[in-house]
Structure 1
Amino acid sequence: MAVKKNEVTGEWGFYGTITHKGKVIHRYKKRGGFKRKGEAVKAEQAYRENFDVAKIMRPSLVELVDQFLPFWKTQVKPSTTDQEEKVYKKLIRELGDKDFYDPKVLQAYINVCDKKYSKRYVEKIYFSLTRLFKFAVREEIIEASPMLKVYKDARAGEQKKEMSFFEPDEFKLCLSVIEDPRDRAMFSTLYWMGIRKGEMMGLQWKDIDFKNKTMSISKTVITINRLKENPCTPPKTKNSYRTISMPKSLIKELKDYLKVAKGFACFGPEMFVFGDDKPISAETLRRKNIHYIKEANRRGYDIPEIRIHDFRHSHASYLINNMAQNGFSDFDIAKRLGDTVETIHNVYAHWFKAGDDKIIDFMDNDN
């Protein structure tokens, strides 16, 4: 530490370095501003006493994420970390040059996210940050997580967006405009099996048993992995492992497409049913869906515009609305969809309520 007089202005200033464990971690310089040497000495002492060594030694957001991800990969399945990495890349882009250890900075960021994104996506960002700082506390990088002082909007009064889905007749109208055998089989699989998009992308011919009329679900594909040598990962949950029966209409569509697929150079048990040696891309699937719905409506069929995931909702709706009169239960539906009964009731509660109303109508009319 040192003080120095500016011979031109006659004012005193100070300069020096701060070390930590024998290493220079910070250099400082204050040019003038003090009339007396003693004032400069006191100012430098105060500067050094107030200097936060711990703050300077904290890793940057990039460095913290790089330390965290190897640990996180030991805690969850690969598909989860792949999706988490996308969130952390976003955080690095948007928070990297800010003091992200400051709760006020984090709160301001979450507030902006709340105005731009869905409740579910904001929760993903919020909990990704929470996990990151929990790790930092565990590694003694910081003493307490700044996320303890950050809240997200519960959006208690927000109306849940109504689910979009196809009724069976609407799906058949959509299917009627599709001529390509692969696309007919692909969208029929989504509708009549209710499997998730990634599960459909991961289907291989070895998973389809025409003799027993079943389809085995044992893997999934996420977009980030599609072009990897092995693009498949384990499915979402242990309940997702399942073998489910196929209806006659789907078997016909798959057999029609199989005749075409056998002519492909890559055809075999390992070939992806709706791809080749690699799964179909999610973007291609999305574009095809939009195209066929637009074509159906151009022909005057007036069907709803639904997303790929809404085919799963459509299947669930179809089953729930028909379970009472056909002798299967919510447990059977959950097993087919690869979910728990609790999840089915949480997601499709309004449809079960409609079924309950029908039960009351029956009881009132029967007495």
Structure 2
Amino acid sequence: MAVKKNEVTGEWGYYGTITHKGKVIHRYKKRGGFKRKGEAIKAEQAYRENFDVAKIMRPSLVELVDQFLPFWKTQVKPSTADQEEKVYKKLIRELGDKDFYEPKVLQAYINECDSKYSKRYVEKIYFSLTRLFKFAVREEIIETSPMVKVYKDARAGEQKKEMSFFEPDEFKRYLSVIEDPRDRAMFSTLYWMGIRKGEMMGLQWKDIDFKNKTISISKTVITLNRLKDNPCTPPKTKNSYRTISMPKSLIKELDEYLEFAKTFTCFGPEMFVFGDDKPISAETLRRKNIRYIKEANRRGYGIPEIRIHDFRHSHASYLINNMAQNGFSDFDIAKRLGDTVETIHSVYAHWFKAGDDKIIDFMDNDN
């Protein structure tokens, strides 16, 4: 703490350092601006009293995330932690050099995300930030979370994007352009079983029971885990553990592919059905699907451009639209998909409503 007179201007200024736990954390200097020595002394005292040591000592975003992730990994499944780590890496890239402890900065960032991302993805970013600052409060890094002053647009008037899916005849046209036996079996499994992408990637030959005509789902592959020694994790929920029956068309595709797979040096019960000693990658799967759709439409088949997850939607649509006349229920569909009845009604509400409309049409015409 010191004051000094500028011999050229005749004004007084001040300079000094601020320490915390024996270490210098801040240096300051004001070269002039005060006519009297006492004014400079009072100004320096006020500067030091108003200096926010806690703000200077706050960890950077990289440091805070590095502290948070080990804790978070003890609270959730490895697959969940891996997925959310990607969000935190994105936050570091986009917020790293900004004062991310300021609500105004965070609000501007959320607003920016709202303008270019889906509602669901913005929610993921928003709640990831909320968890991070809740941890910071718990560790006494900050007193209150800046996220209490940050809101996200509810998008109340936003219409939900319609799901894309293959009708059975569209899928048959899609399948007709595929010659590779593994790819035929792979996309047939996605379509006729309605399993999730990660569940399909995690299938091993020991999971397929040709005698009882079933496939057992007991694990899943998360993209970030694919190249690890053990790429498989438990499935999404307790309802995801299931054994489901195969239709004859799928058994035929898998049986033909099995004869080809037996020529692989790694073939055996532990071999990944749609890979080798490692599962097929999500990117390879995505590229194959795009290529086959383009080829089908090049031939004039007029099929929709769907994503891998839309194969699951296609299966759900197929079952929902055929359940009334074939004696199975929404409970049976939920069990096959590895979801709850509440979830499938929430996700596929419009399809159930369409089925209900058909029932009313039948009743009106019958009376």
Measured after TM superposition, the shift of residue 34 of structure 1 is 2.3
Cα distance per residue 1:292-318 (max 9 Å; x no partner): 011111111101111100000000000
Measured after TM superposition, the shift of residue 23 of structure 1 is 2.8
Partner of 1:278 in structure 2? 278
| Rounded Cα–Cα distance in structure 1 between residues aligned with 2:32 and 2:265 | 79
| Rounded Cα–Cα distance in structure 2 between residues aligned with 1:192 and 1:59 | 51
Measured after TM superposition, the shift of residue 88 of structure 1 is 0.4
Partner of 2:115 in structure 1? 115
**Greater CA deviation, 17-26 or 309-318?**
17-26
Give the share of equivalent positions with the same residue, in percent.
Answer: 94
Measured after TM superposition, the shift of residue 348 of structure 1 is 0.4
Measured after TM superposition, the shift of residue 8 of structure 1 is 3.0
Partner of 1:354 in structure 2? 354
| Rounded Cα–Cα distance in structure 1 between residues aligned with 2:192 and 2:31 | 76
Measured after TM superposition, the shift of residue 137 of structure 1 is 1.1
Measured after TM superposition, the shift of residue 81 of structure 1 is 0.4
| Rounded Cα–Cα distance in structure 2 between residues aligned with 1:125 and 1:118 | 11
| Rounded Cα–Cα distance in structure 2 between residues aligned with 1:99 and 1:73 | 26
**Greater CA deviation, 138-147 or 336-345?**
138-147
Measured after TM superposition, the shift of residue 22 of structure 1 is 2.9
Measured after TM superposition, the shift of residue 107 of structure 1 is 0.2
Measured after TM superposition, the shift of residue 349 of structure 1 is 0.3
Q: TM-score, normalising length from structure 1?
A: 0.98
Measured after TM superposition, the shift of residue 362 of structure 1 is 1.7
Measured after TM superposition, the shift of residue 7 of structure 1 is 2.5
**Greater CA deviation, 123-132 or 215-224?**
215-224
Cα distance per residue 1:267-292 (max 9 Å; x no partner): 11111111111111111111110110
Cα distance per residue 1:188-224 (max 9 Å; x no partner): 0000000001111111111111111100111111111
Partner of 2:78 in structure 1? 78
Partner of 2:57 in structure 1? 57
Cα distance per residue 1:93-144 (max 9 Å; x no partner): 1111111111110000000000010111000000000001111111111111
| Rounded Cα–Cα distance in structure 2 between residues aligned with 1:265 and 1:8 | 87
Structure 2: gaps spanning 5 or more residues: none
| Rounded Cα–Cα distance in structure 1 between residues aligned with 2:271 and 2:6 | 78
| Rounded Cα–Cα distance in structure 2 between residues aligned with 1:151 and 1:121 | 15
Measured after TM superposition, the shift of residue 30 of structure 1 is 1.7
Partner of 1:182 in structure 2? 182
Matches within 5 A, 1:22-33: 22-33=22-33
RMSD of aligned Cα (Å): 0.9
Cα distance per residue 1:148-168 (max 9 Å; x no partner): 110001111111111110000
Measured after TM superposition, the shift of residue 43 of structure 1 is 1.3
Cα distance per residue 1:347-367 (max 9 Å; x no partner): 000000011111111212222
| Rounded Cα–Cα distance in structure 1 between residues aligned with 2:295 and 2:110 | 40
**Greater CA deviation, 196-205 or 2-11?**
2-11
Cα distance per residue 1:225-270 (max 9 Å; x no partner): 1111111111111111111000010011011111111111111111
Measured after TM superposition, the shift of residue 9 of structure 1 is 3.0
2:13 is paired with a residue whose SS is strand
Measured after TM superposition, the shift of residue 57 of structure 1 is 1.3
Measured after TM superposition, the shift of residue 32 of structure 1 is 2.2
Partner of 1:11 in structure 2? 11
1:198 is paired with a residue whose SS is helix
1:277 is paired with a residue whose SS is coil
Measured after TM superposition, the shift of residue 39 of structure 1 is 1.9
Cα distance per residue 1:40-70 (max 9 Å; x no partner): 1111111101100111111111111111111
Structure 1: gaps spanning 5 or more residues: none
> Which ranges of 4 or more aligned residues in structure 1 deviate by more than 4 Å?
none
1:76 is paired with a residue whose SS is coil
1:356 is paired with a residue whose SS is helix
1:164 is paired with a residue whose SS is coil
| Rounded Cα–Cα distance in structure 1 between residues aligned with 2:11 and 2:230 | 69
| Rounded Cα–Cα distance in structure 2 between residues aligned with 1:35 and 1:239 | 77
Partner of 2:154 in structure 1? 154
1:32 is paired with a residue whose SS is strand
